[in-house]
């Protein structure tokens, strides 16, 4: 019997901050035991530099990441869809688990304002991994 890794999609408007941090934490802490995607309903041109710096502070480099467009295919291919302020732009498919994480938007903020958002996302990711029965990678 083969077990398929659960697939999680993080969605925010610009895919330049919150969803990028969440995807990076889930990849970092879950490793290959979870498939990770992130996207935005109106993607920015680049990941927020303050977000890149805040993640670098905790040893995760997301400087090579680029914002991606949200597609129905990405939602359909995911087991869990976590929205972070995309409103009604996220397509709904029956049978998917949808969560909405209310988090401040790091857009236009400095690293000092991004740190608490980053830390809240990490805490939520650790909780999600526990719910999925996936041990946090050391």
Known active-site residue 86: yes
* Burial of 59: CB neighbours in 10 Å, binned 0-12, 13-18, 19+: exposed
* Residue in this structure with the two tokens 């988090």, named with its chain if needed: 103
Catalytic residue among 11, 55, 81, 86: 86
Catalytic residue among 8, 9, 11, 12: 12
Catalytic residue among 13, 16, 90, 128: 90
Known active-site residue 53: no
CA angle 90, 4, 15 (to 5 degrees): 30
- Number of neighbours of residue 19 by Cβ within 10 angstroms: 32
Residues with a catalytic annotation lie at: 12, 86, 90
């Amino acid at each position: 019997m083969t077990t398929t890794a659960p697939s999680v999609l993080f969605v925010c408007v610009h895919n330049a901050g919150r969803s990028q941090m969440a995807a990076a934490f889930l990849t970092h802490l879950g490793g290959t035991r979870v498939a990770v995607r992130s996207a935005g309903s109106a993607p920015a041109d680049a990941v927020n530099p303050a977000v890149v710096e805040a993640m670098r502070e905790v040893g995760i480099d997301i400087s090579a990441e680029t914002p991606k467009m949200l597609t129905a295919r990405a939602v359909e291919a995911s087991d869990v869809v976590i929205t972070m302020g995309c409103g009604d732009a996220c397509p709904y498919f029956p049978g998917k688990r949808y969560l909405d994480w209310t988090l401040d938007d790091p857009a236009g903020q400095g690293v000092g304002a991004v740190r608490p958002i980053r830390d809240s996302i990490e805490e939520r990711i650790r909780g999600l991994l526990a719910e999925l029965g996936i041990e946090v990678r050391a």
